[in-house]
Amino acid sequence: MDTPCPDKAPADLAAAEACWQGAYAAQIGRDRPVCNRSGIEIKPLYTPRDRDGVPYLEALGFPGQPPHTRGIYPTMYRGRSWSQRQLIGLGAPEDYNARLRQLLDAGATAISLIPCNSVYRGHDADEVDPLLLGTCGTIINTVEDMALCLRGVPMDRVSVALNDALPFTLAAFLLGVARRQGTDWERITGTSNQSDYISHFVANHMFFTIALPGSRRILGDHIEFMNRFVPGWNPLSVVGQHMQQAGATPAQAMAFTLCTAIQHAGDCMARGLAPDSFLPRFTFFFDISISVFEEVAKFRAGRRLWARIARERLGARDPRSWRFKFHAQTSGTDLTRQQPLNNIVRVAVQAMAGIFGGLQSMHTDAYDEAISTPTAEAARIAVNTQNILREEAHLGDVIDPLGGAYYVEALTDRMQEEIEQIIAQVDAAGGMYAAVERGLVQKAIGESAAAFQLRVERGEEKIVGVNAYRAEEAPGARPALERPAPAVVEAQLARLRAFKAARSSAAVEKALGALAAAATDARENVFARTVEAAEAGATHGEIVTVLRRELGFGHPLVAI
């Protein structure tokens, strides 16, 4: 039953609020509690009372200034739009190059390369069943493969993100290609997107190739080498995406990511590196779920916290070190095989959350990624989703457009509180490295994943097409991308055989011997020797085999 509104506005805020509360209670009846994915209770209405006594400059400030809540650059998207960095991984190197050119023509402004799963597992193409090759990424085993992938790409003008897990053979191949082309390494820009071995140990086990202590050593060597010889490169991307996709709540994902960044920074400082010599090249990589306001608050709180952590805890004095530069990808775990065209809407909503959260670059998933590697049509729609949000919806016109909203600011504060509590728990466990060694982080993520799945199964969390608004679809209504043709795979295997036959066996043997020696000598830089081995003609699988032998095979810890 409706409660009539007063004839005139109440005299003050308290009276107006009391009037609304009475009307709300009368109409709503029994109100149900609402919580977001991080477990934070959400009120039905937020008012100026939720911001009482909060100083503007201390909590929000201006873009490009501490506390960085509103963005890390003064102009944000008014000055330069976010980078459209679409992830591509497809078949043989020639297939990748063709798709890459299509996406650049469609408006992508930077490139991202993901290798075949066989590469992540540490193998060359001739070591696995051909049926498995090229289905989830590009087959890249040699410097020649990388040259084919990047054919026609001006390496000194296009930023390249390599989804390159340890021991960073793709980066080594890329540097080899640059040297062949006469491109100065100092002019190369990009990111080692999958350099965060801690995230792999916790939540992306296929990428975890080298035992934990060895991984720690190799990452430090990679950071030192790239900072010195490839200064435009970001050698570390601290990854929260894997943990959130494994089931961490948005607050947990942000907290664990910041803990990981603190750990990596501490490891760099233990090597004698000054914070301001490496922190400006730290980047972050996050998942964007469909929980819009929660994601916006997650990013704003994380940005504010990192600026403070870098300044106060790590001792950074250069303002560039305080910048929370992050790439984000719309969440594949929110996509469904059922009614897959609905995923176009999901991706658009996720992308809006990322833009409102102030990201620096973004990959938007294709609607059919729940089924297979994206088809060309679906990939083009994914790119155009960003084009439409920027050009037609004008989402980049205003900096931090949700800033100042009572709900958004209150939620940002609550997310920060939740994140800080989790960071304190990890600190009490001895830091992120110690916490993951003991399985504490894995256990927390597993519990959150199980709790969310239970809510879905009970119908408390609605997913359109899965447990609500279901519809029958004809089998094969949305066909998956076909596997690479057998002839394509065989041609790639033949190329690998020819490459091995043509190289100098003596040079490869010498380079791999030097790599093995470096792995057991703390005075040596393992990544420097990896680059030398790649340029001498060593393959990805050969390099990984040597390092696994010397530093141990990567076995992730699964906590139940």
pLDDT category at 4 given cuts 50, 70, 90 is low
Residue range 131-156, pLDDT digits in tens? 889 888 899 999 999 999 999 888 89
pLDDT at 104: 79
- HEC letters along 26-85: HHHCCCCCCECCCCCECCCCCCHHHHCCCCHHHHCCCCCCCCCCCCCCCCHHHHCCCEEE
Domain contains 480: no
**Closest C-alpha among 387, 281, 262 to residue 325:** 281
CA distance 334 to 446: 17
**101 or 354: which leads in pLDDT:** 354
* Rounded distance between C-alpha atoms, residue 382 and residue 491, angstroms: 30
**499 part of a folded domain:** no
Q: Residues 521-546, buried b or exposed e (16+ Cβ, 10 A)?
A: eeeebbbbbbbbbbbbbbbbbbbbbb
Give the residue among 282, 244, 276, 242 at the shortest CA–CA distance from 262: 282
Q: Which domain holds residue 26?
A: 13-51
- Asked whether residue 147 falls in the same domain as residue 215, the answer is yes
What pLDDT does residue 484 have? 82
DSSP, collapsed to helix, strand or coil, labels residue 284 as strand
Is 158 exposed, middle or buried (CB count within 10 Å of its CB: 0-12, 13-18, 19+)? middle
Q: Which residue's entry shows tokens 């990896």? A: 530
pLDDT tens-digit map of 247-278:
999 999 999 999 999 999 999 999 999 999 99
Residues 46 and 62 in one domain: no
Asked if residue 427 belongs to a domain, the reply is yes
**Residues 303, 229 within the same domain:** yes
Q: Are residues 61 and 183 in the same domain?
A: yes
Distance CA 328, CA 350 (A): 10
- 36 and 156 part of one domain: no
User: How are beta strands 236-239 and 190-192 bridged, if at all?
Assistant: unpaired
- Of 458, 492, 509, the residue that ends a domain is 458
Rounded CA-CA distance 530/551 in Å is 14
Q: Is 493 left (phi over 0), alpha (psi -120 to 50) or beta?
A: alpha
311 and 445 together in one domain: yes
* Sole residue written with tokens 């990805």: 540
Banded model confidence at residue 91, pLDDT cuts 50, 70, 90: confident
Which of these, 194, 222, 193, lies nearest to 207 by C-alpha position? Answer: 194
Give the span between the Cα atoms of 156 and 184, in whole angstroms.
8
Q: Is the pLDDT of residue 347 over 80?
A: yes
Q: What percent of the chain has pLDDT over 70?
A: 97
Q: Could you tell me what percentage of the chain is helix, strand and coil, using 3-state DSSP and rounding each to the nearest 5?
A: 55, 10, 40
Tell me the β-bridge partners of 190: 160, 233
- Confirm whether 463 is domain-assigned: no
Q: Quick: pLDDT tens for 397-414.
A: 999 999 999 999 999 999
The string of DSSP codes covering 411-424 is HHHHHHHHHHHHHH
Q: Determine contact, residues 49/21, Cβ cutoff 8 Å.
A: no
Q: Tell me which of 434, 458, 482 is where a domain ends.
A: 458
Neighbour count for residue 498 (Cβ, 10 Å): 11
- What are 533's two structure tokens? 């081995």
Q: Quick check: is 506 in a domain? A: no
Mean pLDDT rounded to a whole number for the chain: 94
State the pTM of this model: 0.95
Asked if 191 and 161 count as a contact pair (C-beta separation under 8 A), the reply is yes
Same domain, yes or no, for 163 and 40? Answer: no
Domain CATH number, residue 441: 3.20.20.240
- How many domains is the chain partitioned into structurally? 2
Does one domain contain both 267 and 403? yes
On whether residue 552 sits in a domain, the answer given is no
pLDDT of 102 reads 82
pLDDT level of residue 474 (50, 70, 90 thresholds)? confident
Q: Residues 491-537: pLDDT tens digits?
A: 999 999 999 999 999 999 999 999 999 999 999 999 999 999 999 99
- 188 and 90 in one domain? yes
**Average pLDDT, integer, range 27-40:** 95
Q: Is cis: bond before 167, omega within 30 of 0?
A: yes
Give kind and range of the element (H or E) at residue 433: helix 432-437
Same domain, 28 and 62: no
Q: Which of 199-208, 334-343, 477-486 has the lowest mean pLDDT?
A: 477-486
**55-84 CB burial, b ≥16 within 10 A, e <16:** eeeeebbebbbebbbbbbbeebbeeebbbb
In a shared domain, residues 363 and 385: yes
Closest CA to 36 of 217, 388, 298: 298
Task: Return the half-sphere exposure (C-beta side, CA atoms, 13 A cut-off) of residue 381.
Answer: 18
Q: How far apart are the first and last CA of the chain?
A: 50
Neighbour-count burial of 89, counting CB atoms closer than 10 A to its CB (0-12 exposed, 13-18 middle, 19+ buried): buried
Give the residue from 411, 430, 458 where a domain finishes: 458
Identify whether the C-beta of residue 230 lies closer than 8 Å to the C-beta of residue 178: no
CA–CA dist 56, 53 (Å, integer):
9
61 found inside a domain: yes
Residue 160 has a CB neighbour count (10 Å cut-off) of: 22
d(CA 203, CA 333): 14
Same domain, 353 and 381: yes
User: Residues 516, 508: contact at Cβ < 8 Å?
Assistant: no
CA atoms within 13 A on the CB side of 50: 18
> What is the structure's pLDDT at 107?
74
- What are the phi and psi torsion angles at 109 (to 5°)? -110, -5
Residue 560 domain-assigned (yes or no):
no
Question: What residue ranges in 95-192 does DSSP mark as E strands?
Answer: 110-113, 160-162, 190-192
162-214 pLDDT tens trace: 999 999 999 999 999 999 999 999 999 999 999 999 999 999 999 999 999 99
User: What is the distance, to the nearest Å, from the Cα of residue 221 to the centroid of all Cα atoms in its chain?
Assistant: 22
Query: Is 549 a residue whose pLDDT tops 90?
Result: yes
